[in-house]
Chains A and B, each alone.
Chain A
Amino acid sequence: METILVSLGAGLMQAFEPLNLFMIFAGCLAGLFVGCMPGLGSVNGVAILLPVTFLVPPTAAIIFLAALYYGAMYGGAISSITLGIPGASTAVATVFDGRPMAQQGKADKALMAAAIASFIGGTVSVILFTLFAPPLAAFALKFGPQEEFALMLLAFATFIGLGGDDIPKTVFSILLGLVMAAIGFDIISGQPRMIFFDMVEFQRGIGFLVLAIGIYGIGEMLWTLESTKGQVTMHKVQITWARMKANFAEVKKYINSTWLGSFLGFFVGTLPAAGATPASLMSYGLSKTFSKDPDSYGKGNVAGVAAPEAANNAASTGSMLPMITLGIPGSPTTAILLGGMIIWGLRPGPLLFTESPDFVWGLIGSMYVANVATVILNLAMIPIFIRVLAMPFTLLTPIIFVLCVLGVFATTDRMFDTWIMLILGVGGYLMRKLNYPVAPAVLAIVLGPLAERSLRQSLISSQGDVTTFVTRPISLTCVLLALALISYPLVQRALRRRQSQRRAA
């Protein structure tokens, strides 16, 4: 405990260094911006801006991107409430009660509740993070390649078991990401693999950022252009000091839902397939179930805004936990952060705590500061962000496209990658329209090389004996859990069929 406090103190000191403090504010602002723009969320912001962060040292870069991540969680609520369109998928549940409140002229109350609940959710989860991360990392130090591989298997299994998407399509998405990660030289035998059409460019493989920016930059913009073409109506927001003070007094109305959302969000956030969107929906549902007045939900109950907002912020921090301690990202956004860490020359995983304590604790320290920074920026700048929301797509779209193209070019200095990005972006958009989930592919291309290496390392060390994965207790547990998750939808379907048969009989 004492060592944690000492390290945390050092981390906080680091967060207050001028450059890092600047990055926190810049990241929060950028996050609020991408969060409140309909169609853009944290994952889009992180993917598009990652290439630009090579300007600053890795610690400052991840602080910026992490701050962007929370900022986007706060920002999503702004458009959910004022436009009735979720600013990001993570803010879908905020629309349910946020929009009725705005229609009743209580938009300011909803926005304040969202900001305060987000702050509480973020703070609770960052405290949980600080308590859980060091022991988990210390435990994970015992992991060999067998455990690493079993954990990745588990991560992919969560998509099948809990993702809720069409299963063959999810499997296809995962495997496509894994195969794309294998293009280029084989790390163990050194043989070139999958050099399509004998193009030399394929020897260097397809970087994860090319896929991530293609899908979350290009594909997402195409998606947004198509879905928000209709006219949007903005609700007026009245903000005065007197109203703000009155709104502060209302906190106790939704404090219970906020606590619930904070804890739930953190734990749901740590699961790779779950993350902030399901966490906020679950939190909304549970808060409604436990409420004394469930009928008022969906008609403008302030607790219905607070519960999902607390949960999505908590989940964003929660998804960092497996990324920092185990090297398994808890969400698509953290998958991109993980890829970024590899580019910065850091090795994600349990060793990070011992090898780069400055980096880890600087990041944790910055999370505390970023939460305070975002709540202040958010409350102060709501009027400005509402004006930004009125920005037409003919100005925003070209900016995003240019940043995507040049960002991809800048990471590898090859025009070839920008072509691949365009192909993947358009392809991803076309597949997404048919409900192929895209997040598993992004996670898979980041984890692919690590998964293949750990699989083959384990098998080389066991001289080709596959039982090595089931004779070690931790890896056996993960494999069994993964199998259970994969079979979960099948079992569920069988049960449902039996039930309907019984009902018929």
Chain B
Amino acid sequence: MFSLIESFYILLLAGFVGFEVIKRVTPTLHTPLMSATNAISGISLVGSLVAAGSDQFVSQMLGLVAVTAATINVVGGFLITERMLKMFKRKERKQQ
């Protein structure tokens, strides 16, 4: 099941894609970028779910804490990113 080389290919290519995409992120949105990537890195949730859903007690407990922590990141991260992005408005919508 363990395919090191294949994983390295993916790591490198995804890294390059990430670099090119994120280079173009406007500096105005650097804080939302941080909280968005934070939410996305909550993808550890996937691994945590597998652990929490196994049939071994130790894994379940480690998984429980991991699922909680990762969910805080995913849910909180996306919500706060949206809250921030909602604030970035252009003049015409501004009052006065």
On whether the two chains bind one another, the answer is no
